[in-house]
Amino acid sequence: MNTTLQYLFQGLAAGGFYAVSALGLAVIFGVLGVVNFSHGAMYMLGAVGASLLSTELGLGFWAALVIIPLALFMVGVLIERVLVRWLLHQDPLYNFLLTFGVALVTVDLVKITVGASGFDYGLPAGLQGKFSLGDARLPTYQLFLCIASALVCLAVWAVLSKTRVGMIVRAATEDADRTRAFGINVRLWVTPVFGFGVALAGLAGVMSAPFRAINADMGGNFVIILFAVVVIGGLGSIAGAVAVAGGVMIGLVEAFGQAYASAYAQVLIFVVMAAVILVRPNGLFNREATA
């Protein structure tokens, strides 16, 4: 029973930063219609950046939680303004290939400048050790991941649901042409939305740094799993990306798969995705697919 509880908690923790990053991917796709394949590379930059802040500047985890998302917001703004915006009215495949190229260049630049692996990052102060839950002793940091990711997703939901900014973003997601007809400059919101989505990927990277092995290639596998998360929730559905049925489901499948069938852990993720698509082709939130 204790072992099962440990795997359950590990899956919830991993699902938390999957959900945070998938939220960024879903927001970008919803507003811009761009399948951002560089999202995994941005996640990697978040983790590597947190390690470098610690080793080079002596800045800890709590500082990285603020600095890295802000820095990656600016990176996202730069990518959108310099590259992505020129292809928005072309076939979506062009931006998919463009962001795939951005991911490859980003990974190689990290390998050239700081190395391919060997990034260390310990547990942050105050989140070391374990806590008791019944007879089980569970890592405190995993509890933090569960709570922090839930708060981030709740905060983003509140902004999208309860504010004027959120109303505009949701309207642009649903029907950009009709939103323009009401006199709203959708183009004005595109750049900060892209930057915000990339910032969430960086935040997820910082959150995962004490929890996962850090290396320049860590984003490649992550982005594939992330697409499974978003497809399960409903591609383009902002609510679906943060749902338990998305990130947390994949986190649990991954944790129990590694525990009981490690050779098939990755395969199980896509078996679950295929099963969901067969039952609900538009994802669990049943949003109509966007062309």
- Asked if 18 and 272 count as a contact pair (C-beta separation under 8 A), the reply is no
Phi, psi torsion values for 175, nearest 5 degrees: -160, 95
Q: How far is CA 110 from the centre of its chain?
A: 20
Q: Which two tokens stand for residue 43?
A: 């996640």
250 residue type, one letter: I
* Three-state SS annotation for the chain: CHHHHHHHHHHHHHHHHHHHHHHHHHHHHHHHCCCCCCHHHHHHHHHHHHHHHHHHHCCCHHHHHHHHHHHHHHHHHHHHHHCHHHHCCCCHHHHHHHHHHHHHHHHHHHHHHHCCCCECCCCCCCCCCEEEECCEEEEHHHHHHHHHHHHHHHHHHHHHHHCHHHHHHHHHHHCHHHHHHCCCCHHHHHHHHHHHHHHHHHHHHHHHCCCCCECCCHHHHHHHHHHHHHHHHCCCCHHHHCCHHHHHHHHHHHHHHHHHCHHHHHHHHHHHHHHHHHHCCCCCCCCCCCC
Burial 154-164 (b: 16+ CB within 10 A, else e): eebeeebeeee
pTM of the model: 0.88
- Asked if 37 and 96 count as a contact pair (C-beta separation under 8 A), the reply is yes
Per-residue tens of pLDDT for the chain, all 291 residues: 577 777 787 888 888 888 888 888 888 887 777 888 999 999 999 999 999 999 888 888 999 999 999 999 999 999 999 999 888 888 888 988 999 999 999 999 999 998 877 788 888 888 888 877 766 677 888 888 888 888 888 888 788 778 888 787 777 766 667 777 877 777 777 888 899 999 999 999 999 888 888 889 888 888 888 888 877 776 656 554 455 457 777 888 888 887 787 777 778 888 888 888 888 776 666 555 443
Q: Which two tokens stand for residue 27?
A: 């927001």
What is d(CA 30, CA 267) in angstroms, rounded to the nearest whole number? 28
What is d(CA 176, CA 237) in angstroms, rounded to the nearest whole number? 15
Q: Specify the pLDDT at position 244.
A: 46
Q: Specify the pLDDT at position 149.
A: 86
Count of CB atoms situated within 10 Å of the CB of 29: 23
Residue 119 bridge partners (DSSP): 214
